[in-house]
A and B are shown apart, each in its own frame.
Chain A
Amino acid sequence: MALINPKKKEVQVKLVYYGPGRGGKTTNLEYIYEKFKKRITGKMTTVKTYGDRTLFFDFLPFDIGVIRGYNVRMQLYTVPGQVKYSATRRLVLRGVDGIVFVADSMVLRKKMNRLSLKDLQDNLATFNKSIFKIPLVMQYNKRDLEKEGIPLLSYEAMERDLNSRLKAPAFDASAITGDNVVATMKKAISLTVASLQKKLELRG
């Protein structure tokens, strides 16, 4: 749920990075923060556990420019990926406007990706949102591991497994090297902003 402030001419939009634990959601945000540091006015906030895993969320505010006279502020969040943190993920999803699903391309993680996607669908449903309607981008992460001989599922296999019904835009990526991290984010922003634009047009 975006927040439109006609007084300050500002819109706040919430983009959430979702996916299984150790899939690279935080690494995506860290790369974006490093890359755009000079233009990001706020700081990246993380709430981590002892083992350096995301406990609550990571948060990165990011001004993307002016649309129809409104300054648009994207608020990027990650969720904690581990299965046991489902209640926390639901909290972070509250008011979400767009989603990046960061899937792990390793063959071993196939089942975890599916479980996480189902968890996303269920958690969205608690807010009366449909995974088929919300702006969504798929990212098949960890492609860099191919060079190290670690068995990965191909792009096509990932598509069949996760995206055959959703048909969301999808990217092969490597969050650790930054490959396609920005492309994923831009796609998610453009889908989310397209729906915002409609909203602003309706307001006149």
Chain B
Amino acid sequence: MKGGLVSLQFLNSRLANGLDLILTRTYFNAAKGDYRMECTVEFDKQQFDQIENILNEELIETGVQSVLLIDLAGNIIVSLDNGNINHDIYSLAALAAGNFGAVNAMAKIIGEEDFSLLFHKGEKESINFSKVTEDLLLLTIFSKDLSLGFLRLKVAEAIRKIQNLI
């Protein structure tokens, strides 16, 4: 309980910066305090390391600009890049999760379980979406120097290795 209060005060000091409202100890007596938060994935540190290694070896070293492993709630699980880009990855993840959900909903309307290829082609950069599990999605951002066919092979290999881990 004491630890909770310390972190509450910390949270409060962060939020109260320039504001006149103070969080009270009702924090601990919250009517909904018995609500148990659920988590998308329960990976440990070692699994994170292994997933990062797979994505690095299979994709970044192959010439991919950036890789994001996200959940369908829009949270980022792993993000890697080649060091030459600076995207707003949090917005990208939120939009990608929504986009993937929307496309899947469209598939169901026309009687498909899902669409196996989801790919946006740009003049210089393109994005490939691949489902890893029911909840996880892999986003790959790559330039025109890399062929889509080769990229899909490498993505499939990375996904197979990740699936073996989780």
Assess whether A64 is in contact with B14, with CB atoms less than 8 Å apart.
Answer: yes
Residues of B within 8 A of A56 (CB): 98, 102
Residues of A within 8 A of B94 (CB): 45, 57, 59, 75, 77
B100 to A, closest residue via Cβ: A91
Mask for B20-54, Cβ within 8 A of A = 1, else 0?
Answer: 01010011101111011111111111001100000
Assess whether A67 is in contact with B7, with CB atoms less than 8 Å apart.
Answer: yes
Q: Is A19's CB within 8 Å of the partner chain B?
A: no
A51, chain B: closest CB distance, angstroms: 20
Assess whether B73 is in contact with A95, with CB atoms less than 8 Å apart.
Answer: yes
Assess whether B21 is in contact with A195, with CB atoms less than 8 Å apart.
Answer: no
Assess whether B73 is in contact with A1, with CB atoms less than 8 Å apart.
Answer: yes
Assess whether B91 is in contact with A94, with CB atoms less than 8 Å apart.
Answer: no
Interface residues of B in 75-95 (CB under 8 A from A): 75-77, 88, 90-91, 94-95
Set B14, B39, B77, B91: member contacting A45, Cβ < 8 A: B91
A interface residues, how many (CB within 8 angstroms):
56
Assess whether B95 is in contact with A91, with CB atoms less than 8 Å apart.
Answer: no
Assess whether B90 is in contact with A75, with CB atoms less than 8 Å apart.
Answer: yes
Total number of A-B contacts with CB less than 8 angstroms? 154
B134, chain A: closest CB distance, angstroms: 11
Assess whether A133 is in contact with B23, with CB atoms less than 8 Å apart.
Answer: no
Q: Is A176's CB within 8 Å of the partner chain B?
A: no
Assess whether B37 is in contact with A64, with CB atoms less than 8 Å apart.
Answer: no
Assess whether B10 is in contact with A67, with CB atoms less than 8 Å apart.
Answer: yes
Mask for A163-204, Cβ within 8 A of B = 1, else 0?
Answer: 000011100000000000011001001111111111100000
Residues of A within 8 A of B42 (CB): 4
Task: Jot down 23 A-B pairs with beta carbons below 8 A, ordered by A.
Answer: A1-B38, A1-B39, A2-B40, A3-B40, A3-B76, A5-B48, A6-B44, A7-B48, A7-B49, A57-B94, A64-B11, A65-B10, A65-B13, A67-B7, A67-B11, A91-B101, A92-B98, A135-B32, A167-B31, A191-B32, A196-B37, A199-B36, A199-B37
Known: A2-B39, A42-B90. 16 other contacts (CB 8 A): A6-B45, A12-B76, A59-B90, A67-B7, A67-B10, A72-B11, A75-B90, A94-B73, A94-B97, A95-B71, A133-B32, A136-B32, A186-B15, A190-B27, A191-B32, A191-B33
Residues of chain A touching chain B, judged by Cβ–Cβ distance below 8 Å, are 1-7, 12, 14, 39, 42-43, 45, 47, 56-57, 59, 61, 64-68, 72-73, 75, 77, 87-88, 91-92, 94-97, 133-136, 167-169, 182-183, 186, 189-199
